Chains A and B, each alone.
Chain A
Amino acid sequence: MELLTLLKANIKHKKGSFISVAVLTLLIVTVASAISGVLQNYRNARDRADEYSDTGSSNVIIARELLTDKLLDSVKNSSLVERTEVLGSIQSVGSVKAPTSSDSNSYFLMKVRGGLRLFNENADGFTDEVTKLQRGEIYFPYGLRSKLSVEAGDEISIPLLDARHIFTLKGFVQEPTMGAMMTGWKQVFISDEDYDEIYAECERVREPDQLPFIDIVRIYKSDSDMTDSRFQRELNLETGIINNAYGSITLQQSVRYTGLFTEIICGVVLGFAAIMFVIVLVVTAHSILTETEIDYVSLGILKSQGFTSARITLLFTARYILAELTGAVVGFILSIPLERLLSNIFMSITGILPDKSFPIAQSLLFIAVIIALSAVLIFAATRKVTHISPVRAISGGREEIYFASRLNAPITKKALTTSIALRSFTSEKRRYIGIIFITALLTFFAVTVNILGSSVKSRSARESMGYVIPDITVNARTIDLMDRIGEVETEIGKYSAIRKKYYSRWNYYSLNGENLMCEIYMYPEYIPGMLKGRPPLYDNEVIITEMVAADLGLKMGDTVTVSGRKRDAQYLITGIYQSATDSGTCFALSYDGLRKISDTHITYFGMALEDTSQAQTIVDDLNEKYSELLAAEVYDWQSNGFEDDVFDIAVLAIQIMIYAFSGVFALVTVIMVCTKAFTQERTDIGIYKAIGFTVGKLRLQFAVRFFIVSLIGGVIGAAAGLMFSVNVLDLIFSLFGVSKVVPDYTAFTFIGAVAFVSLCVLVFSFIVSGKVKRVEIRELVTE
């Protein structure tokens, strides 16, 4: 009973620390519960969507002409295969146009089939059945809604061979295999009548070399224990279907690409929340130790009245655990709407309607872990209580000599406020270790996201990370461009020398049976992102990414077989490189190397110029002189490229999240630590007031001291950032396929982070120091 009375009194008297710990716990529980809920609801929904849609273990995209009966039979008859399903489609050629956007990715027009689910008007559920489409109507997968900024009722123009067809967007469907925002292929659905009519029209007008009819072959593995990639590889080795395909995507690949953004953002946030929890533990320990010091006399009196150390420890533990529980309960409640909000945001990227359940058991377990870890820490921090001596407590609680320090900053008339602030810090440095640690950690994260941001925005850094960044791009209108490119180069040379030539194309080929994106370069010496070895300069050489090397167990010096549709050849791996193409699952050949397995031409000509200011003039000139041959464009590398868009959004989201999180944590920890310091220094504040210091000067002195402390933490954090940020970034970038980050930073990268955290501390501590106003000099009176 007496413990309960003391507990109530303690909570009332120490509202500040109670609220701070509760708020910090609230933040962590809110974010962690919501994020884990988002992940669980997405993953569950994704599994069910695949089940409903009957997604194949391997989904092969192949021209109708190449899917011969013999090939299909060989697949069907393979012991690896349980069953197959062939879905016919017509492929768009060119740019699909919406009212405010366009998209050059491949669109496959298909008939509405079973396995699709139609989103209702609010996009928060499905209709009972997929409404039959009328002529001129089209369904889009949900991932296109935000990608193209379209809504039901919008007009969509789709190019098919020489004609453009206009459709009215009827609604959005859930198509899990390719329906996500970041998947380059899209299945779109039209009425049976339109499909048959367009099919017949294409059949009529197409040239012999045009292959607009694409079959999507869904192949289901017989051995459920086999991985999809192994199944596809072995099936290809047995039947060669992938070698003949335009591309393929396994169920596991689809799951990875679809959830890439969600998993990365959620993973980073959860990781950051874990670090924030460490901060909560530090703040809690600091608070307990400070309280023990401030309340030394009261605690000593309690001891003298018969309270054991164990009971006092229990008192502390109960109060802090109660604060955490309060925060956790409120956080848990808040996480429910937050989870819903975030799930809706991620739905626009994944195209999958997330589950609406909330992972209560998971959240409760999470809260239990937080409480358990905190309890251990609180117990350890309150050990100091056992050393409290009632006799010393009653005599004032202080050591005979305190504040003695070897490192004492001088007090000067000039910069008096700063020198006193510095003295306050140097005379009791231990008190500030916690806030130094916290600001160091926050600065480290701020530096990391700054480097992340600047690396993403830096041309040289991006090139080093495997991005092709030309100044102008030239797309072939006919295959004649390949023969006349020298003439085009001469024309360009009139304005500027060409620094780098990225003459390339991208095709899926199988490497040792694994269907992978192959990047083909006419000038392999310009392949960006080399990590080890050298580019494939000769026609029997290939380079692979680290991800491919790991997946297929390959290394430099190994020989691999690359298979085209008609031929295959052996290549020696001469290097390891990194590329964000297909999230790092790709390899590269020289054009000469490609010709051993295919007769296709280079269709993309990117040029980096010596004089980039001439880019627009060159493009105008080329488009005028060679309009029949090519279409030239200035390449805006900061806004171009599909992966870049997703990547930029992800980076921006991470930056905002970490800065916002840091700001809030800085606020709460500063309030908590400053309040404690304020309580400890109340008498000194009164003295300073009595000798003529103004409230403004005292507040400034308080804030400057915490600013100095945060600067020290900031410098430590910045130094740690310089040394270790790249490791964190490697981890994040590897999810996009970039295994070695080439950091790009300037002094501002670090100064900005230190300034952000330190200014937060300065401002927040200045606000907290408003309490100085409430200190009355008469408190110094001894009656």
Chain B
Amino acid sequence: MKNIILSAKGLCKSFAHNGGQIHILSHVDLDLYEGDFTVIMGASGSGKSTLLYALSGMDRATAGAVVYGGEDIVKMSENKLAGLRHTDFGFIFQQMHLVSNLTLFENVAVSGYLNKAKTAAEVRERTEKLLEQMSISHIKAHLPSQVSGGEQQRCAIARAVINSPKLLFADEPTGALNRRNTTDVLDLLTELNRSGQSILMVTHDLRAALRASRILYLEDGKIIGELPLPPYDPNEEKSRETQVNAWLSSMQW
């Protein structure tokens, strides 16, 4: 029996538009489990990213609750949420979003420095290790503008995990990458998950979805389907792809 790491109840998100309301998320109930690699899929405009941001506390839900560690993060103060972001949650964006005037090393280390539990030396040491693990230690002194998209995304992953988050959120992390870089990034995420990292990823890339241990399908702001999967094995990728494809077809994807 897996432990629930984060739980959403009746989650709604709507935006004001032309005097009316557009409802993006509609009473979403969802549990995320420790050690899972959960992937959310759905058509464009289905509310995938909105759900991810609402669950991660990057954006506040209009109604409902997101319980993490026994606390509703929807009701958390900005400062407490900020603390959560650099201790318990990690986030990977589609466009990497590295700070443009910091080197790759500094981009990773700055997040680590926010963690009061670690000394500067510990942060530097872990940063070096992560950059090594991401195979970008040779370009650690480069600025983001001086490296490729794949290298930037690997740096972004390192930044996201520098504080050993309990839950890693990823929003289309391969959306801006070429095929080769996509594989590299997915391998990294899979590796992280194997080492126990809980991951929630939004994607519409089938290859990315294959890495999941659980796929949720979102339509019109509601979860309409769930597909549990065994741990990813590259040798069984073909059969896994067929299974996922069939399931997605049943979801009208």
Q: Which residues of B contact A693 (CB under 8 A)?
A: 82, 86, 114
B113 CB within 8 Å of chain A = yes
A166-188 toward B: CB 8 Å interface, digit per residue (1/0)? Answer: 00000000000000000000000
B96-113 toward A: CB 8 Å interface, digit per residue (1/0)? Answer: 011111100010011111
B98→A687 contact, CB < 8 A: yes
Q: A411-B110, A413-B113, A695-B78 are in contact. Are A684 and B99 (CB under 8 A)?
A: yes
Q: Which residues of B contact A540 (CB under 8 A)?
A: none
A361 CB within 8 Å of chain B = no
Q: Which residues of B contact A401 (CB under 8 A)?
A: 143, 145-146
Complex Cα gap A412–B87 (Å): 19
Q: Which residues of A contact B175 (CB under 8 A)?
A: 782
Closest chain A CB from B175 CB (angstroms): 7
- Out of A420, A684, A776, A783, which one reaches B100, CB within 8 Å? A684
Q: Which residue of A lies closest to B77 (CB)?
A: A694
A113 CB within 8 Å of chain B = no
Q: Which residues of A contact B120 (CB under 8 A)?
A: 412-414
Kindly identify, within residues 105 to 141 of chain B, every residue whose CB is under 8 Å from any CB belonging to chain A: 106, 109-114, 119-120, 123
B211 CB within 8 Å of chain A = no
- Out of A411, A687, A776, which one reaches B59, CB within 8 Å? A776
A679-704 toward B: CB 8 Å interface, digit per residue (1/0)? Answer: 00001101111111111100000000
A424 CB within 8 Å of chain B = yes
- Out of A427, A692, A781, which one reaches B111, CB within 8 Å? A692
Complex Cα gap A402–B143 (Å): 9
Q: Which residues of B contact A4 (CB under 8 A)?
A: none
B252 CB within 8 Å of chain A = no
B219 CB within 8 Å of chain A = no
Q: Which residues of A contact B95 (CB under 8 A)?
A: 780, 782
Complex Cα gap A694–B79 (Å): 6
A286 CB within 8 Å of chain B = no
A771 CB within 8 Å of chain B = no
Q: A398-B145, A694-B78 are in contact. Are A411 and B109 (CB under 8 A)?
A: yes
Complex Cα gap A414–B114 (Å): 10
Closest chain A CB from B178 CB (angstroms): 16
A688→B99 contact, CB < 8 A: yes
B217 CB within 8 Å of chain A = no
B214 CB within 8 Å of chain A = no
A427→B101 contact, CB < 8 A: yes
B94→A782 contact, CB < 8 A: yes
Q: Which residues of A contact B59 (CB under 8 A)?
A: 776-778
Complex Cα gap A492–B241 (Å): 111
Closest chain A CB from B159 CB (angstroms): 7
Complex Cα gap A690–B156 (Å): 12
A690→B58 contact, CB < 8 A: yes
Q: Which residues of A contact B86 (CB under 8 A)?
A: 691-693
Q: Which residue of A lies closest to B52 (CB)?
A: A781
A400 CB within 8 Å of chain B = yes
Q: Which residues of A contact B94 (CB under 8 A)?
A: 781-782
Q: Which residues of B contact A782 (CB under 8 A)?
A: 93-95, 172, 175-176
Complex Cα gap A554–B128 (Å): 80
B69 CB within 8 Å of chain A = no
Q: Which residues of B contact A412 (CB under 8 A)?
A: 113, 120
**Number of residues in B with C-beta < 8 Å to the partner?**
41
B91 CB within 8 Å of chain A = yes
Complex Cα gap A420–B87 (Å): 20
- Out of A413, A777, A783, which one reaches B58, CB within 8 Å? A777
Q: Which residues of B contact A687 (CB under 8 A)?
A: 97-99
B85→A690 contact, CB < 8 A: yes
A568 CB within 8 Å of chain B = no
A102-125 toward B: CB 8 Å interface, digit per residue (1/0)? Answer: 000000000000000000000000
A403→B101 contact, CB < 8 A: yes
Q: Which residues of A contact B106 (CB under 8 A)?
A: 411, 423
Q: Which residue of B lies closest to A692 (CB)?
A: B86
Closest chain A CB from B90 CB (angstroms): 9
Q: A416-B113, A778-B58 are in contact. Are A403 and B100 (CB under 8 A)?
A: yes
B102→A694 contact, CB < 8 A: no
A690→B145 contact, CB < 8 A: no
A404 CB within 8 Å of chain B = yes
- Out of A403, A692, A778, A783, which one reaches B143, CB within 8 Å? A403
- Out of B145, B159, B171, which one reaches A691, CB within 8 Å? B159
Complex Cα gap A400–B146 (Å): 8
Complex Cα gap A689–B84 (Å): 11
A234 CB within 8 Å of chain B = no
A692→B114 contact, CB < 8 A: yes
- Out of B49, B85, B146, which one reaches A783, CB within 8 Å? B49
Q: Which residues of B contact A414 (CB under 8 A)?
A: 120
Closest chain A CB from B86 CB (angstroms): 3
Closest chain B CB from A292 CB (angstroms): 19
- Out of B93, B101, B146, which one reaches A780, CB within 8 Å? B93
A428 CB within 8 Å of chain B = yes
Closest chain A CB from B53 CB (angstroms): 5
Complex Cα gap A401–B100 (Å): 10
A683→B145 contact, CB < 8 A: no
- Out of B44, B82, B146, which one reaches A689, CB within 8 Å? B82
Q: A402-B100, A691-B159 are in contact. Are A781 and B171 (CB under 8 A)?
A: yes
Q: Which residues of B contact A778 (CB under 8 A)?
A: 53, 58-59
B10 CB within 8 Å of chain A = no
Q: Which residue of B lies closest to A694 (CB)?
A: B82
Q: Which residues of A contact B112 (CB under 8 A)?
A: 413
Q: Which residues of A contact B53 (CB under 8 A)?
A: 777-778, 781
B97→A411 contact, CB < 8 A: no
Complex Cα gap A83–B61 (Å): 95
Q: Which residues of B contact A400 (CB under 8 A)?
A: 145
Most buried by A among B83, B94, B110, B119: B110
Q: Which residues of A contact B58 (CB under 8 A)?
A: 690, 777-778
Q: Which residue of B lies closest to A691 (CB)?
A: B111
Kindly identify, within residues 244 to 298 of chain A, every residue whose CB is under 8 Å from any CB belonging to chain B: none
Q: Which residues of A contact B145 (CB under 8 A)?
A: 398, 400-403
Complex Cα gap A683–B95 (Å): 11
Kindly identify, within residues 734 to 783 of chain A, every residue whose CB is under 8 Å from any CB belonging to chain B: 776-778, 780-783
Complex Cα gap A404–B111 (Å): 22
Q: Which residue of B lies closest to A687 (CB)?
A: B97
A420→B143 contact, CB < 8 A: no
Q: Which residues of A contact B91 (CB under 8 A)?
A: 690-691
B82→A781 contact, CB < 8 A: no
Q: Which residues of A contact B87 (CB under 8 A)?
A: 692
Q: Which residues of B contact A423 (CB under 8 A)?
A: 101-102, 106
Q: Which residue of A lies closest to B115 (CB)?
A: A692
Complex Cα gap A413–B79 (Å): 19
Closest chain A CB from B145 CB (angstroms): 5
B61-78 toward A: CB 8 Å interface, digit per residue (1/0)? Answer: 000000000000000001
A424→B101 contact, CB < 8 A: yes
Closest chain B CB from A231 CB (angstroms): 72
B141-160 toward A: CB 8 Å interface, digit per residue (1/0)? Answer: 00101100000000000010
A659-686 toward B: CB 8 Å interface, digit per residue (1/0)? Answer: 0000000000000000000000001101
B102→A411 contact, CB < 8 A: yes
Closest chain A CB from B151 CB (angstroms): 15
B82→A416 contact, CB < 8 A: no
Known contacts A411-B110, A690-B93, A782-B95; 8 further A-B pairs (Cβ under 8 A): A401-B146, A412-B120, A684-B100, A691-B86, A692-B87, A693-B114, A777-B59, A780-B95
Residues of B within 8 A of A (CB): 44, 49, 53, 58-59, 78-79, 82-87, 91, 93-95, 97-102, 106, 109-114, 119-120, 123, 143, 145-146, 159, 171-172, 175-176
22 contacts across the A-B interface (CB closer than 8 A): A401-B143, A403-B101, A403-B145, A404-B143, A404-B146, A411-B102, A411-B106, A411-B113, A416-B110, A416-B114, A423-B102, A690-B93, A691-B85, A691-B111, A691-B114, A693-B82, A694-B78, A696-B79, A780-B93, A780-B95, A782-B94, A782-B175
Residues of A within 8 A of B (CB): 398, 400-404, 411-414, 416, 420, 423-424, 427-428, 683-684, 686-696, 776-778, 780-783
